[in-house]
Amino acid sequence: MNPVVTAMPNDQPGPALVQVRGLRFGYGRKLIFDGVDMDFARGRITAIMGPSGTGKTTLLRLIGGQWRPQAGGITFDGVDIHRQNRAGLYRLRKRMGMLFQNGALLTDLSVFENVAFPLREHTQLPESMIRDLVLLKLQAVGLRGARDLFPEELSGGMARRVALARAMALEPELVMYDEPFTGQDPISMGVLMRLVRTVNDALGLTSIVVSHDVVEVMSISDYVYVISGGKVIAQGEPDQVRQTSSERARQFLDGRPDGPVAFHYPAQSLAEDLGLEAA
């Protein structure tokens, strides 16, 4: 509808599905984002990487409308997420799926019922069709046989895969994955990476993947943002980001302990702390 075509990361026509503009957000006085601009192009997989505690999960929650920015805004398909009443926000959320970092499965429901939950809540589908849909989603993550287990009987990696099946149950337009590969063995990791890619392409989704697994996530994504210290420090297609000249981004991507990003929380020197200097 909007005739203005914004410059896209992938030179792809049409405005991005999710646009972040001048985002400022903090918990209390602790500033997490300070003027961040991002585009999440339709039909693409965009990766968000960055050191632990920089606010990757926070960003996904901002997109989901669970937190409100102090300045700037986020639009989903041209609609400002944070200028909605509850009904409007819920309408938007039905078009999003989110995989939480720890799964967030409902502990009083079985694996099957967890995946069926959004279908039962938001569709009038007959029971037989719900059953088929749920089993297909579980099949895709390799857990069809685990349908009768309860969340407490699953390993961390299995729980995350069930959560993935649940996030895709309503076939949303946008899927946000918070650390989908953490705790997966090499086999399921490979399967999940391919799954994220195939689901994205087959259903024409837009995906946002938050991950620390630099090599793996780079290999499946179309565009990459590296954030640190409240700012985007590198962005581009995976090949461009691999060549980045930013010191901070280089240190993160190469996993070097020394550099502009401090591994240690600020403190007095170790020798002083251990009382060695005084002797």
Partner 1 sequence: MNAIGAILGDFLATLGRATLFLLQLLLAVPRALLRPRLLLRQIYMVGQLSLIIIVISGAFIGMVLALEGYRTLSNFGATSSLGILVALSVIRELGPVVTALLFAGRAGSALAAEIGLMRATDQLSGMEMMAVDPLAYVAAPRFLAGFIAMPLLASIFSVMAIGAAGGYFVGVIWLGVDPGAYWSQIHQGVEVLDIRQSLIKSLVFGATVSWIAVFQGYHSAPTSEGVSRATTSTVVMSSLAILALDFVLTAFMFSQ
Ligand X SMILES: Nc1ncnc2c1ncn2[C@@H]1O[C@H](COP(=O)(O)OP(=O)(O)OP(=O)(O)O)[C@@H](O)[C@H]1O
Residues that bind partner 1 (CB under 8 A): 61, 64, 66, 86, 90-91, 93-94, 96, 98, 100-107, 117-118, 121-122, 166
Residue 216 CB, nearest approach to partner 1 (Å)? 24
Edge-first strand order for the sheet with 18-27 is 30-40, 18-27, 71-76, 79-80
Residue 269 CB, nearest approach to partner 1 (Å)? 32
User: Could you tell me the end-to-end alpha-carbon distance of the chain, in angstroms, rounded to an integer?
Assistant: 74
Dig out the tokens for 59 from the structure: 């960003």
Which of 102/219 has CB closer to partner 1?
A: 102
Q: Which does 85 bind (CB under 5 to 8 A by kind): partner 1, ligand X, Mg ion, none?
A: none
Q: Helix, strand or coil for residue 23?
A: strand
Interface with ligand X in residues 34-63 (CB under 6 A): 52-58
Distance CA 11, CA 158 (A): 37
Which of 100/252 has CB closer to partner 1?
A: 100
Q: Per rule CB under 6 A, is residue 15 in the interface with ligand X? A: no
DSSP state of 115: H
Residue 113 CB, nearest approach to partner 1 (Å)? 13
Which of 32/146 has CB closer to ligand X?
A: 32
Beta-bridged to residue 236, according to DSSP, are: 224
Residue 193 CB, nearest approach to partner 1 (Å)? 23
State the residue for tokens 């090499």: 186
Residue 178 CB, nearest approach to partner 1 (Å)? 10
Which of 42/56 has CB closer to Mg ion?
A: 56
Phi/psi region, residue 142 (left: phi>0; alpha: psi -120 to 50; beta: rest), is left
What residues contact 260, with CB distance under 8 A and at least 6 apart? 247, 248, 251
Q: Per rule CB under 6 A, is residue 182 in the interface with ligand X? A: no
Count of alpha carbons within 13 angstroms of residue 169, beta-carbon side: 32
Q: Which does 117 bind (CB under 5 to 8 A by kind): Mg ion, ligand X, partner 1, none?
A: partner 1
Q: Which does 52 bind (CB under 5 to 8 A by kind): partner 1, Mg ion, ligand X, none?
A: ligand X
Residue 22 CB, nearest approach to ligand X (Å)? 19
Which of 10/57 has CB closer to Mg ion?
A: 57
Q: Per rule CB under 6 A, is residue 12 in the interface with ligand X? A: no
Strands 79-80 and 71-76: antiparallel
Q: Which H, E and C letters describe 31-81, residue by residue?
A: EEEEEEEEEECCCCEEEEECCCCCCHHHHHHHHCCCCCCCEEEEEECCEEH
Residue 244 CB, nearest approach to ligand X (Å)? 19
Which of 89/203 has CB closer to partner 1?
A: 89
Residue ranges that bind ligand X, judged by CB under 6 A: 27, 32, 52-58, 101
